[in-house]
Amino acid sequence: MMDAPDKKKKIYDDVMRILSETLELSPEDVPEDLSSYSSLPFDSLQLYEFVIDLEEEYKIKISDEALDGIKNIGDVVDLVYGLTENNG
């Protein structure tokens, strides 16, 4: 069983991998800051592609309300961590 920092590191790696696949960017070009929607290199379709892939990878459900609170990659990691913890 992984402890919290290890688990968060794994989630971070998965998030960056899925995001870079969705955006067709190399991981180092994926922006950390997701707060300014207009400056992001992806549209809402790609955002949902990312969300659906993340849901399938972790067998979780991410609501639109939860997405509203996302400002950076760290928030995505915390959200996935919280949802997987709730699943047991």
Partner 1 sequence: MPRDEELMSEALVRIFENVVLTEEKSLQAGYFSDLSIAEMHTLTAIGPYEARTMTKTAEDLGITTGTLTVAIDRLVRKGYVIRQRDTKDKRVVRISLTRNGKLACRMNSKFHRVLAKHILEGYAPDDREHILKLVSEVDTYIEQQLKRYDNTEDARKTAMEVANDKKSKEKA
CB of 68 to partner 1, least distance (A): 9
Nearer to partner 1, 24 or 29 (CB): 24
Contacts of 12 (CB under 8 A, 6+ apart): 73, 77
Chain residues that interact with partner 1, rule: CB under 8 A: 44-45, 48-49, 51-52, 61, 64
The distance of closest approach from Cβ of residue 2 to partner 1 in the complex, given in angstroms and rounded to an integer, is 26
Amino acid at 66: A
For the CB of residue 40, give the shortest distance to partner 1 in the complex, in Å.
15
Closest by CA to 37, choosing from 2, 72, 87, is 72
